[in-house]
Amino acid sequence: MGLLEQKRHFSVNLLDWYMVNRRDLPWRRHNNPYFTWVSEIMLQQTRVDTVIPYFNRFIGNFPTVQALAEAPEEEVLKNWEGLGYYSRARNLQAAARQVMELHGGEMPQDKQAVFALKGVGPYTAGAILSIAFNQPQPAVDGNVMRVLSRYFLIDEDIMKGSTRVLMEELAGELIPEGRARDFNQALMELGALVCTPKAPHCLTCPVMEQCSGRIAGRELTLPVKTKAKPPRPEQRLVAIVEGRGAHRGRVLVRQRPATGLLARMWELPHVLAAPATAGKKAGPLADEPAMALLAGSLWAEGFAARPEGLATHAEHVFSHIVWSLQVYKCTEQDQSNELPLIAAEARAAYDAQAAAKETTAPAQASEPSMIDEANISGSFDEQGEPLSAIAASDPAHDVMSGKGDGQIYRWIGPEDMDKMAFPNIFLKLISSYFAGAYDDVSE
DNA sequence: AATTCGGGGTA
DNA sequence: TACCCAGAATT
């Protein structure tokens, strides 16, 4: 068979299949460019079933570009909580403001203008232009590369940028005249429902007759893809600090910096336990040194707390890091009494870690919870007292900033959780705490 | 070209 | 366990 005939067979039969088998998805119910845009951002590296409830809530709270542009950033982040890749949320709102200022609140239809929006790359630009405006632009994602690599038996590594460009040229040629909207979605729908990664359903595939990959028996070995390098392990010590006195019934949380991992999300205070030795994963730390180190890190931030004991273990997997968490229940201490003792323990723990670090890899410079020597030496004065324990306190929200690198700390109760965005792991830990799961932790 | 960005479903 | 998901931004 000729290549031209093979292409035509693909386009015709795939489009026919899609018109019968297309899923009823929330963002497909209206031809609203804003809905298409929001859905495509959410769907980046995220499954349809995961996105659906987020999409519905998001559109309910921010029904228009203007509503999104004018919303508090904190509220947008809260609506993204649990979805991951949080820079998508910040970029989406920034782009909504771009659309308000540059395009009068209407989604632009010009390719360059769409591509210039924050968070919109080659795939998303093509998806918006084709799905929202039916423009004949390719939209090549992981599904499309898998389908095309199999059907046309393309052995190029799909991790390479040059392969995506090649796929875009091919995908563009396949779009039937005037049918970009349906065809591009058909391509992705086939990848999601039939031409799946592990066990493709070739027997029900609408284009199996001329699929070069299947005919060659290569459907399970395509696409060719170099495997990602494994995530690095990190052992971290986490504090659930139970408030006393004016803070009774609350726990101490802090907000992460505006850039980097989990930017601007709230979390429980924690500290990197053992800088990983090259090639070796750092195992769990014994409770006694762990609690001393944890108390020391809190002290360096201006908080006096006594670790009571191990509450639980937890693991949190990112694409490039695996956090193994040792979670310790702690109690806030009265500054006038137990503080000197904790300060002494903290000094010892710090000295030990600082000494250990000299024989290992250098610390990441901007790691927010990493304790570096400068921070240590700056955390104590001659009498072992904090230099500026509490910089500011807001009675209404109980806001205070620790010293250190300017992170914001806050004592919160259960009622505060509905406006602050937490990564799932801390959401679970804090919820468990408020539900009484760690009440019986003791020394 | 390689890394950095979450979190969960699936076999 | 080991992928992989309607990828983009940064280095």
Nucleotide nearest to A46 (CA to C1'): C5
Burial of A41 (0-12, 13-18, 19+ CB in 10 A): buried
Mean pLDDT across chain A, nearest whole number?
87
pLDDT at residue A362, as a whole number: 33
Segment A207-227 shows an average pLDDT of: 96
Segment A159-184 shows an average pLDDT of: 97
Helices marked H in A240-364: 287-300, 339-357
- A308 part of the active site: no
Phi and psi torsions of A401, nearest 5°: -105, 135
Residue percentage of chain A with pLDDT more than 90 = 79
C1' of C1 to CA of A92 (Å)? 35
For chain A, domains (ranges, CATH) are 3-215 (1.10.340.30), 232-434 (3.90.79.10)
Q: Which residues contact A280 (CB under 8 A, 6 or more apart)?
A: none
pLDDT at residue A375, as a whole number: 32
CA closest to C1' of B10 belongs to A198
C1' of C8 to CA of A283 (Å)? 34
pLDDT at residue A386, as a whole number: 29
Segment A229-242 shows an average pLDDT of: 96
Nucleotide nearest to A318 (CA to C1'): B6
Higher pLDDT, A382 or A356: A356
Confidence of residue A387 (pLDDT cuts 50, 70, 90): very low
- Using a 7 A cutoff on CB, list residues near strand B: A 45-47, 49-50, 82-87, 160-162, 196, 198-199, 229, 260-263, 316-320, 423-425
Nearest Cα to Cα of residue A21 among A157, A206, A163, A179: A206
Residue A391 has pLDDT above 50, yes or no: no
Residue A191 has pLDDT above 80, yes or no: yes
C1' of C6 to CA of A373 (Å)? 46
Kindly report, residue by residue over A81-134, the tens digit of the pLDDT: 999 999 999 999 999 999 999 999 999 999 999 999 999 999 999 999 999 999
Phi and psi torsions of A411, nearest 5°: -90, 120
C1' of B11 to CA of A243 (Å)? 46
Kindly report, residue by residue over A288-346, the tens digit of the pLDDT: 999 999 999 999 999 999 999 999 999 999 999 999 999 999 999 986 555 555 555 56
Q: Looking at strand B, which nucleotides approach a protein CB closer than 7 A?
A: 1, 3-11
